[in-house]
Chains A and B, each alone.
Chain A
Amino acid sequence: MRALLALEDGVTFEGEAIGAPGTVVGEVVFNTGMTGYQEILTDPSYAGQIVTLTYPLIGNYGINEEDDESRQVQVSALVVRQVCEHPSNWRARWSLREHLQAKGIPGIHGIDTRALTRRLRAAGVMMGILTTELTREEALRHLQASPRYDQFNYVRMVTTPEPYVWDVEGMKPVDAPVLPDTRYRITLLDCGLKYNILRRFAALGSRVTVLPCTATAEDVLATAPDGVALSPGPGDPALLSDIVAQVRRLVGKVPLFGICLGNQLVGAAFGAKTFKLKFGHRGCNHPVKDLRSGQVTITSQNHGYAVDPSGLEPGMEVWQINLNDGTVEGLRHTSLPIFTLQYHPEASPGPRDSDPYFAEFLRLIDESRG
């Protein structure tokens, strides 16, 4: 089956359909990671996006039962150069093509993904449409009539409908008994979390209570947390003033750890504005410099917006920056137990070099407990 990818500037790519038939509209973005397509597919921060993988051979190791990062495939559609029909890995259960079809996600392969990436690099991310049924003209008309990515509150769509708990044994109902060796109670506001954040906290002796993004500061404090984490998530943070208001009310009451979107929410709670990057940071090779230690770390990234530090209130400082473009990659408060990262310490996909920040947050909790 043929498939067509059309960008809002009129550039089109014709290839073969690899997933479900149909038509989807989304923001077209690229990720330069060479592994991790299963994690990318299920990362809620890709909601509403048509994701292009720049590595040309995708699906080599198939899809397995363990590497999902959320309860479903989150991308709107997938774009690859060559899909692998015969995956090879001891954990592989399905081929990528089977998986996309089963999950109802459209995809396209056989197109020049490097040409597409170069287009996005030059013009910035843009809206696009992937279709297995419309002609080029119909597709472009449909695209023009469709709402844009930044008009949607995707966080509301991907957050958990109900609170739940996660510990070393995995997902549990909120009233599940507390394991005897639990050392920390973390409450996490779910704006589109990845399971590996929960796994990493749990591995360090934490019981994590996950709340929907609509939770108020009172709801959060009612769980008696030792520390509160703010998750990554999709979309324009400027649409999330309700959450920012709740975050502001948590400041000073409990240690805070913002990850990705959480960095932007904390930044906004401290007066900063956010802005859209030309083509975002999506990949596993972004160098980030810690301005206090001078150390550089290779990080896993997936964000389209960044914090403009100029409006930050006194006390909140830029802690880490991206070595490529100088944008904010982390904030740290000078006196309160609050720090944030714009990238993904939970990796999955990507390098695990910043994993120690989970332990650092727990240390911060220890210190604040005195």
Chain B
Amino acid sequence: MGSRLKPAATNPIITRSKRRNMPKDPSIRKVMVIGSGPIVIGQAAEFDYAGTQACRALKEEGVQVVLINSNPATIMTDTEIADRVYIEPLTVEFAERVIARERPDGLLPTLGGQTGLNLAAQLAEAGILDKYDLRLLGTPLSAIQKAEDRELFRETMHAIGEPVPESWIVESEEQLREVAKICPYPAIVRPAYTLGGTGGGVAYNEEELLQIGRLGMNLSMRHQVLVERCLLGWKEIEYEVMRDAANTCITVCNMENLDPMGVHTGDSIVVAPSQTLTDKEYHMLRTASLNIIRALGIEGGCNVQLALDPNSFQYYVIEVNPRVSRSSALASKATGYPIARVAAKIAIGLHLDEIENAVTKKTKACFEPALDYVVVKFPRWPFDKFVTADRRIGTQMKATGEVMSIDRTFEGALMKAIRSLEIGAIGLTRRGVAALSDMQIEEGLAVATDERIFIVAEAFRRGMMVEEVAQISSIDPWFLEKIRQLVEMETRLRLHARELRDLIQNPCNGHPAAELLRTAKGKGFPDAMLADIAGVDELALRRARKALGIEPVYKMVDTCAAEFEAETPYYYSSYEQGESG
């Protein structure tokens, strides 16, 4: 092309692209990013993922990136990710030395998890940000405080009319009597400062509250209990939302926890998008989430957790994470929308409608992804390594990792997720579960553990009804019905094991079992399990399946449900009678 021969200064194309590479705020030329330090339970590799994306996004905008992190087993500390990498302890002392040496214009703390946020707060408090004229980019510290400080958060929610669960601090018999008269039942009683929360419980009436409250106060080192509206059994819904400095807000996706309120979202099986919410409920909670991110003044991404009554429109705001989190990593991969990348660009002043949608390359980052598939996240617990550990899961996260799967149906996605766990399960069966007594099964439905989903399946195998299981577990019947159907399919397969074996020996599409095999694959049954049921070799089954033309198609994750052409090759498989693409 002729234009390439022109000197750069007069080439209009180059001039334009140069301008595009200029950060929106020209005073920010060098940015320091805080990494997340070592991996611990509750804060894993998701922050390396977010930080790496952010470093790249900043460099794309022509910003020089200085990184400080103490964890060598990270991508972000690779020398080509940031311009300068400091492997140093994430303390005020060391951070100050790096700041003094590098003199960055801005500090981006919201991508390094809680560690990054804490360090930034300490640097601000110690006056180091002021001393070196270092601007905090993205969400201001005041907004983070508003989200993380219990009282400030409640005040902010009250101010914008978003409901938070009512709660009372009780320190005397008189107060207890007063609260017992006005609080909604059931109420949860939590003694303050006791080991492992002993002495707490759920009170269903005034009398029980007095009883549990008195016991709790006696057990508490400060003679103090917290009485709170009990939301156990409510639906737990999350929204990933983003806001830019121009106050434009979007939701990246919403997610529904299969395990209802009471199980930490990190320990819960989660689906995206929500499955049991009507449009009215979906948008009621979406609107609430946007109101919240606006009220907090977050610039970047945040995660809003809400509890929704399964029998009314009543809801409560539970928690807000004012930064990228485990959930945003999941939401990014579930939708194809790069939350950390966009958050980094917002932090240096770009607006959502100025950021390109990196997947379609045609549309902007200012939109809401439309999914045409189902995503299942399944937690991975370390109980295989810690065999004596308490396997019950609750409000404190115990999972050390997670897997995610995508399919066109929930059944397919769930079956894939279970296989991905690498716990030796290839379907909804788990060693030991079949040997449990009926009473143990009922107990296993009521108390959430890492094995609950397998116990649910076993309950259906023993003829329990969806309504019964729902009653005991508080899991929404929609999810239970899907699991029941998987169990039903498994039973049908066992019933037709002989026909299936015959089909595998003589694969032809007119065979009566051919349709059964096709349906089973459509529901996500793996070859290994089918071969086991049919009593044949897995390879033989696979060969026969292929001979019958039962093969997966590969569909694209494109952020827009095929409305626009996508450039990014990001795929998932599905046994559906259709085409790839």
Contact = CB atoms under 8 A, between A and B. Distances in A.
B367 A54 contact: no
A22 interface: no
A347 B561 CA distance: 20
A349 B578 CA distance: 29
Contact of A60 (B275, B562, B579): B275
A323 B367 contact: yes
Contacts of B571: none
Contacts of B251: 298
Interface stretch (A29-37, A205-213, A237-245): A29-37
Interface stretch (A115-123, A181-189, A227-235): A115-123
A114 B560 CA distance: 11
A88 B256 CA distance: 14
A91 interface: yes
Contact of A115 (B277, B312, B581): B581
Interface residues of B, number: 58
Contacts of A76: none
Interface in A332-370: 347-353
Nearest to A64: B278
A57 interface: yes
A81 B561 contact: no
B526 interface: no
A89 B311 CA distance: 8
B250 to A, nearest CB: 6
A350 B278 CA distance: 11
B47 to A, nearest CB: 28
A284 B278 contact: no
B286 A121 contact: no
B279 A115 contact: no
B253 to A, nearest CB: 9
B561 A117 contact: yes
A111 B578 contact: yes
Contact of B279 (A57, A294, A349): A349
A287 B364 contact: yes
Contact of B363 (A279, A297, A324): A324
Given A296-B248, A323-B364, A89 B278 contact: yes
B277 to A, nearest CB: 7
A295 interface: yes
A46 interface: no
Contact of A56 (B280, B367, B409, B579): B409
Interface in A269-327: 279, 283-287, 289, 294-298, 323-324
A38, A88, A350 interface centre (most CB from chain B within 10 Å):
A88
A269 B169 CA distance: 64
A112 interface: yes
B481 interface: yes
A164 B353 CA distance: 42
Listed residue (B274, B373, B562, B579) with the most chain A CB atoms within 10 angstroms of its CB = B562
A121 B476 CA distance: 36
B283 A324 contact: no
A115 B579 contact: yes
A297 B368 CA distance: 11
A296 to B, nearest CB: 5
A118 B280 contact: no
A287 B579 CA distance: 30
Given A32-B563, A87-B478, A324-B362, 12 more contacts: A30-B562, A35-B283, A57-B275, A57-B409, A61-B277, A86-B481, A88-B477, A117-B372, A121-B565, A283-B563, A298-B251, A323-B366
Interface of A: 30, 32-36, 38-39, 54-57, 60-61, 64, 67, 81-82, 84, 86-91, 110-115, 117-118, 121, 279, 283-287, 289, 294-298, 323-324, 347-353
User: Which 4 interchain pairs have the tightest Cβ spacing?
Assistant: A112-B578, A36-B279, A88-B478, A54-B561
Interface of B: 246-251, 273-280, 282-283, 286-287, 290, 310-312, 351-353, 362-364, 366-374, 408-410, 466, 476-478, 481, 553, 555, 560-565, 576-579, 581
30 contacts: A30-B563, A34-B282, A36-B279, A55-B371, A55-B561, A60-B478, A61-B277, A61-B278, A81-B576, A86-B466, A86-B481, A88-B276, A89-B277, A89-B278, A110-B577, A115-B578, A117-B563, A283-B563, A284-B368, A284-B370, A285-B369, A287-B366, A323-B364, A323-B366, A323-B367, A324-B363, A350-B283, A351-B368, A352-B283, A353-B249
